[in-house]
Amino acid sequence: MTVFTHAHDIIKTIKEVTEEGINMLNPEKSAETLSAIRRRTEVKPHVGIILGSGLGGVADAIENPVVIPYEDIPYWPRTTAIGHAGRLIIGMLEGVPVVAMQGRVHYYEGYGMDEVTLPIRIFGEMGVKTLFATNASGGINLGYAPGDLVAIYDHINYMGTNPLIGANEDKWGPRFPDMTYAYDRAYVDLLIDVARHEKITLHKGVYIAFTGPSYETPAEIRMARILGADLVGMSTVPEVIVANHMGIRVAAVSCVSNFAAGVTANKLHHQEVLDGMAKAAGSLVALIKGFLRQLSGSPAGRG
């Protein structure tokens, strides 16, 4: 049992726990991670892409890919979720240099928030200016059906924590980043324009994140609907917060893989999620490609 005799001892212990526990990632570690990636490729990506459950096939469209398994990258967290391959892919897509995560890690896998969001920190260090995040979600909005795509324009963080808790690294961003336009409004409009051109049905909605891994109860879904949520999932929000912290513009598209709990009498299961994502994969690939084609002529696309 530890006995503190002075206030100084308590403060010192808190500082050590904070620095070693909450903020495991620091610029020195990120430099080591970045160096390991740069030894494999000279491509300097302008856009980072996060591929959610069942969407690893989007990576097949990347040209001249350099594929790096997560286990080959220092400090990079390994994914354990079904449907997430666990590979970093760097190459060209529609004329834009990109880095894509073929699988993400989740808070429910037991990782700390700094580990969940490490890839975004590295993206920022690589010079990425735009983040395109995808995910699988449960449809809360009764106007959504499995297989529908939704451009996320705002979120509700119901995970009970925040990836920015702990000492702030001023090199990466401000202590109190603004989240008014966490999802870039110009990108939301661009996604809608691309969807119209590609004849893809694209809704616009608010995403609420729970920690998981248990699915939400019908009562929780009724609460989320009252709060203004259209979609529910277990990811994305931490990454978007960190991207905003680093000044990275965000576009995000969610695939409604199933009805949320209580919308129907059916129980939820993960295979339903994977099936829903597979159904929407073709449309999502077209949407991402169209977005990048439009972006390639903008400053963000050119870097």
Structure confidence by residue, pLDDT tens digits, 181-235:
999 999 999 999 999 999 999 999 999 999 999 999 999 999 999 999 999 999 9
Classify residue 227: in a domain, yes or no: yes
Residue 278 has a pLDDT of 75
Classify residue 252: in a domain, yes or no: yes
- According to DSSP, the β-strands at 202-209 and 231-233 are parallel
Range of the domain at 82: 7-302
Least confident of 18-22, 133-137, 267-271: 18-22
- Indicate the DSSP class of residue 81: S
Question: How far is Cα 116 from Cα 95, in angstroms, rounded to an integer?
Answer: 29
Among the options 94, 109, 216, 239, which is catalytic? Answer: 109
Classify residue 2: in a domain, yes or no: no
Phi, psi of 114 (to 5 degrees): -65, -30
b/e sequence 222-233, b meaning 16+ C-beta within 10 Å: eebbeeebbbbb
Among the options 141, 235, 244, 257, which is catalytic? Answer: 235
Question: How far is Cα 282 from Cα 194, in angstroms, rounded to an integer?
Answer: 14
Q: At what angle do helices 270-295 and 185-197 cross, to 10 degrees?
A: 100
- Ranges assigned E (strand) in 14-119: 47-51, 63-69, 87-93, 96-102
CA 291 to chain centre: 17
Give the pair of three-digit tokens for residue 178. 């603004």
* 84 classed as catalytic: yes
Classify residue 18: in a domain, yes or no: yes
One DSSP character per residue, 35-51 reads HHHHTT-----SEEEEE
* 136 classed as catalytic: yes
- Confirm if 264 and 224 have CB atoms less than 8 A apart: no
Least confident of 59-73, 158-172, 175-189, 289-303: 289-303
Classify residue 197: in a domain, yes or no: yes
Phi, psi of 247 (to 5 degrees): 75, 20
* 254 classed as catalytic: no
* 109 classed as catalytic: yes
* 234 classed as catalytic: yes
pLDDT averaged over every residue in the chain: 88
Average pLDDT over residues 57-64: 84
Classify residue 83: in a domain, yes or no: yes
Classify residue 54: in a domain, yes or no: yes
Q: How many CB atoms lie within 10 A of CB 203?
A: 19
* 186 classed as catalytic: no
Average pLDDT over residues 29-52: 94
Domain count, the chain: 1
CA distances from 297 to 18, 46, 96, 289 (A): 43, 12, 10, 13
* 126 classed as catalytic: no
Among the options 182, 234, 246, 300, which is catalytic? Answer: 234
Question: How far is Cα 216 from Cα 146, in angstroms, rounded to an integer?
Answer: 17
Residue 84 has a pLDDT of 62
Please tell me the pTM assigned to this model.
Answer: 0.88
CATH code, domain with 109: 3.40.50.1580
Give the pair of three-digit tokens for residue 257. 């893989």
pLDDT digits (tens, 9 = 90+) for 271-291: 777 777 777 888 998 999 999
Classify residue 214: in a domain, yes or no: yes
Residue 298 has a pLDDT of 54
Give the pair of three-digit tokens for residue 6. 């002075």
Among the options 46, 84, 203, 245, which is catalytic? Answer: 84
* 108 classed as catalytic: yes
CA distances from 125 to 38, 173, 187, 244, 268 (A): 11, 12, 22, 14, 39
- According to DSSP, the β-strands at 63-69 and 87-93 are antiparallel
